[in-house]
Amino acid sequence: MNDTFLKACRGEKTEYTPIWIMRQAGRYLPQYQKVRGKVDFLTLCKTPELAAEVTIQPIDILKVDAAILFSDILIPVEAMGMDLEFHEKKGPVLSPALRDEGTVKKLSVPDPEDKMKFVMDTIRLLRKELAGRVPLIGFSGAPFTTATYMIEGSTSKNFLNTKRMIFQSPDLYRSLMDKITATVTEYLKAQIKAGAQAVQLFDTWGGIFSPQDFRDYALSYVKKVITELKTWQHSEKIPPVPIIYFVGETAGLLEEIKTSGADVHGIDWRINLDDAIKRIGSNAIVQGNLDPIALFLPQNKIEQRVKDILGRASSAQGHIFNLGHGVLPETPPDNVIALVEMVHNYSRK
Ligand code: 1CP
C-alpha cells in the first residue's frame, strides 16, 4: 500500500517525495504503442480493459507513486454533443466549432454514468486491479481549456476565436461556460464516486490571459467547480479527495491561482519552485516542475536538476514531483525510469 502521494497532497510528512508524470501513459512507451497499434485512440479510451491496461503500464515500468486514468479532456465534450475525432497530425478536431447561440444552445449537460459510463467502468476496474498498490488520479479539463477546443474546433496558437467571443459576445461565452462548468462538476463527482482518490483539473491554456482576464474568464469557473465538489463531499460525508489545479505558464498568474481553493497547485518550469512557493505562501502544496525536455539531457545532468528542484521544494508544506507539462512522445523511456529512481533516492530522509 503506497499512499505517499495522497499524504503529500494533504501536506503530511512522507518518507520520500512522491512522483508521477503528466501523460505518463503514452506514445514514448513501446508498451503503449503496442496496445495503441491495435485500436484507434478513442476506442482505447472507451474500452475499459485496454484503458486500464495502459493506465497501469507506467506503474510497472516507471515505479511512479500514482496512476492517472487513461482518457482525454475532450471525452466530456463529445458527451455534451459535439463530434470528436483525433487525427494523427492535426490532433483533436471538434465540430461544428461553437461560434453562435444556436450551436451553444444545442449542447447538453450529460449524465456521466449514462454518456461516459466507460470512464467510470475504467475507474472501477482500475481500483480492483491496482488493489491499493498506488492511488488513482481522475481528471478533467478545466472549463476554460475545454472551451478553447470547443470554440476553436481544434488546438490553436493565439486563440483568436475564443478571445473574440469573450470580448465581443460575453453573454454567449458565459452561457457556454455555465454548461461546461456544470458538466465538469458532475463528471468529477462521478469519477470520485467510482473510486478516483484525487482529481486534477488541467488548465493547459490558462496562461494566454492577463491576470485580470484569467481571473474573470478562467479561474472564476474553476472556483465554482472546486467549491461545489468540496460542498458535495462534505454533505455526502465522502472523505476529502485532494484536488490538484494545473495551469500552463503559471508564473504571471500565481497570485490568482493560489486563490483557486485547490489543495495542490501544479507549477510549470518557467519559474523556480522556491519562488513559486514564496508567492503561494508557506503552507503551499505544490506539484512540479522539471522541464519535460530536460529528460533529453544525459542522466548526470538530469540528476543535478532533480537535486535542485528537491532543494527548492524544501520550503513547501508538501511536494509532489512531476514535470512542468506532459512528457513528449520522443522522450527516452530509460531517462524517465531513471528520473523516478533519482527522486525517490535523493528525497529519502
Ligand atoms: O495517438 C495517441 O495515442 C493520442 C495521443 C494522446 C494521448 C496519449 C492524446 C491526444 N491524449 C492522450 C491521453 C491524455 N490526455 C491523458 C492520459 C493520461 C496520462 O496523463 O497518462 C491526459 C491526462 C490527457 C489530457 C489532455 N488532453 C490535455 C491536458 C494536459 C496537457 O498535456 O496539457 C490536453 C490539452 C489534451 C488534448 C489533446 N489530446 C490529444 C492531443 C493530441 C491533444 C491536443 C494537445 C494540443 O492541443 O496541443
Q: What is the pLDDT of residues 166-195, one digit of tens each?
A: 999 999 999 999 999 999 999 999 999 999
Predicted local confidence at residue 23, as pLDDT: 97
* Cα-to-centroid distance, 9 and ligand 1 (Å): 23
Query: Residue 257: CB partners within 8 Å, gap ≥ 6?
Result: 219, 245, 247, 250, 265, 280
- Widest Cα–Cα separation across the chain: 59
∠ Cα 276 277 279 (to 5°): 65
Q: What angle do CA 33, 39, 45 make, to 5 degrees?
A: 90
Pocket test for ligand 1, best of 21, 44, 73 (most atoms within 8 A of CB): 73
Q: Which three-class secondary structure state does DSSP give residue 90? A: coil
Q: Looking at residue 282, what is its pLDDT?
A: 78
Per-position pLDDT tens, the chain of length 349: 899 999 999 999 999 999 999 999 999 999 999 999 999 999 999 999 999 999 999 999 999 999 999 999 999 999 999 999 999 888 999 999 999 999 999 999 999 999 999 999 999 999 999 999 999 999 999 999 999 999 999 999 999 999 999 999 999 999 999 999 999 999 999 999 999 999 999 999 999 999 999 999 999 999 999 999 999 999 999 999 999 999 999 999 999 999 999 999 999 999 999 999 999 997 999 999 999 999 999 999 999 999 999 999 999 999 999 999 999 999 999 999 999 999 999 999 7
The reply to whether 36 belongs to the active site is yes
* Of 32, 28, 34, the residue nearest 57 (C-alpha): 32
DSSP state, 270? T
3-state secondary structure 45-88: HHCHHHHHHHHHHHHHHHCCCCEECCCCCCHHHHHHCCEEEEEC
pLDDT of 317-336, one tens digit each? Answer: 999 999 999 999 999 999 99
* pLDDT score recorded for residue 67: 98
Asked if residues 75 and 48 have their Cβ atoms less than 8 Å apart, the reply is no
Instruction: Give residue 125's domain range.
Output: 4-348
Output the pLDDT for position 60.
98
* pLDDT at position 1: 85
What's 315's domain CATH number?
3.20.20.210
Pairing of strands 91-95, 83-87: antiparallel
> How many domains does the structure of the chain reveal?
1
Binding-site residues, ligand 1, Cβ < 6 A: 22-27, 36, 41, 68, 70, 72-74, 86, 91-92, 139, 155, 202, 204, 326
Please tell me the distance from the alpha carbon of residue 95 to that of residue 151, in angstroms, as a whole number. Answer: 9
For residue 54, the ligand 1 atom closest to its alpha carbon is 21
Q: Which of 3, 28, 32, 36 is catalytic?
A: 36
Q: How far apart are CA 272 and CA 295, in angstroms?
A: 18
Q: Is 99 a catalytic residue?
A: no
Q: What phi and psi values does residue 199 have, to the nearest 5 degrees?
A: -135, 145
Asked if 264 contacts 287 with a C-beta cutoff of 8 angstroms, the reply is yes
Residue to mutate (ligand 1; options 20, 23, 68, 269; most atoms within 8 A of CB)? 23
Catalytic residue among 28, 149, 187, 221: 149
Which residue from 50, 126, 117, 41 is spatially nearest to 79, judged by alpha carbons? 117
What is the predicted pLDDT for the residue at 307?
Answer: 98
